[in-house]
């Protein structure tokens, strides 16, 4: 089984809809991250969490929110989706060496 | 401003033709430089971490090197299965967040 899983893998939605992307990990890491990836751009950090009670904004948090339900679960929400949030979204965890381990990604399309 | 630039954007090689990918960085104190491989439709996969100038790491046909301003990923006698996008990221001493380059898409033709 994969160490970092994401659901759904693909999602098509309409402008204004609320969307939740979920991430689960079995690596036992405290640190978790949400990134988005757009063609021609590097991965950009949306939010990160160092433990259940510690959540921090990343470079591009506007329009997004997160919830850390447990050490193993970290969810990303788009409260009112807009077309420029169409992207590939990745969840990651990191160990004590700061090496990050990524999930398979969620491809989100906002029409 | 901390920054990472990867070049070239894309590289096409024949099978067996060795080459290098470049990752130039500007950071206020380097904590670590990371190389990842990303296959289409998948998440990035960790390859190497380098911490100080002069350090080298190898894995199969890949060797990563580090200077004070850049890192190279050398690919020796590549095979078609080495085709992927290679990503570089740096971590500053002052900030645990990784700063990512846009990647180099490597295509190895048989």
pLDDT digits (tens, 9 = 90+) for B86-97: 999 999 988 878
The residue of chain B with its CA nearest to that of A37 is B102
Share of chain A above pLDDT 70, in %: 98
Of A42, A58, A102, the CB nearest to B43: A102
* pLDDT score for B94: 84
* pLDDT score for B60: 95
pLDDT digits (tens, 9 = 90+) for A15-63: 999 999 999 999 999 999 999 999 888 899 999 999 999 999 999 999 9
Are the beta carbons of B46 and A42 separated by less than 8 Å? Answer: no
**pLDDT of A65 above 80:** yes
Cα A7 from Cα A21, distance rounded (Å): 6
Mean pLDDT of all residues in B38-63: 96
Q: Which residue has the tokens 């098509």?
A: A12
Of A40, A99, A105, the CB nearest to B49: A99
A-B C-beta contacts closer than 8 Å: 49
Cα B63 from Cα A81, distance rounded (Å): 42
Cα A67 from Cα A111, distance rounded (Å): 25
Reduced to 3 states (helix: H, G, I; strand: E, B; else coil), residue A15 is coil
Are the beta carbons of B87 and A103 separated by less than 8 Å? Answer: no
Are the beta carbons of B87 and A43 separated by less than 8 Å? Answer: yes
**Residue A1 banded pLDDT, cuts 50, 70, 90:** low
- Interface check B40 vs A, CB under 8 A: no
- For chain A, the residues whose C-beta falls within 8 A of a C-beta of chain B are 4, 40-45, 48, 58-59, 90, 92, 97-105
Inter-CA distances, B89 with A22, A63, B26, B33, Å? 25, 25, 11, 6
- Interface check B1 vs A, CB under 8 A: no
Share of chain B above pLDDT 90, in %: 91
Task: Specify the higher pLDDT residue, B28 or B104.
Answer: B104
Beta bridge partner(s), residue A74: A23, A68
- Interface check B35 vs A, CB under 8 A: no
Are the beta carbons of B87 and A102 separated by less than 8 Å? Answer: no
- Ramachandran quadrant class, A63 (left: phi over 0; alpha: psi -120 to 50; beta: rest): left
Q: How far is B78 from chain A (nearest CA, A)?
A: 24
Tell me what the pLDDT averaged over chain A comes to: 95
Q: How far is B46 from chain A (nearest CA, A)?
A: 7
Mean pLDDT of all residues in A85-92: 97
Tell me what the pLDDT averaged over chain B comes to: 95
Reduced to 3 states (helix: H, G, I; strand: E, B; else coil), residue A87 is strand
DSSP A30: S
Beta bridge partner(s), residue A38: none
């Amino acid at each position: 089984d994969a160490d970092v899983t994401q659901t759904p893998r693909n999602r098509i939605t309409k402008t204004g809809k609320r969307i939740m992307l979920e991430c689960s990990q079995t690596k036992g890491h405290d640190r978790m991250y949400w990134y988005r990836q757009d063609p021609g751009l590097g991965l950009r950090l949306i939010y990160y969490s160092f433990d259940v009670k510690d959540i921090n904004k990343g470079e591009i948090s506007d329009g997004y929110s997160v919830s850390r339900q447990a050490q193993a679960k970290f969810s990303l929400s788009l409260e009112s989706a807009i077309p420029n949030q169409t992207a590939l979204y990745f969840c990651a965890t990191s160990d004590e060496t700061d090496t990050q381990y990524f999930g398979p990604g969620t491809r989100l399309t906002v029409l | 401003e901390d920054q990472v630039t990867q070049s070239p954007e894309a590289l096409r090689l024949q099978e067996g033709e060795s080459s290098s990918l470049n990752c130039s960085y500007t950071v206020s104190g380097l904590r670590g430089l990371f190389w990842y491989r990303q296959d289409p439709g998948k998440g990035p996969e960790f390859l190497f971490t380098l911490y100080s100038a002069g350090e080298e790491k190898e894995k199969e046909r890949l060797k990563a090197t580090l200077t004070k301003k850049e890192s190279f990923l050398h690919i020796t006698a590549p095979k078609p299965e080495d085709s992927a996008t290679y990503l570089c990221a740096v971590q500053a001493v002052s900030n645990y967040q990784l700063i990512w380059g846009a990647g180099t898409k490597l295509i190895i033709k048989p």
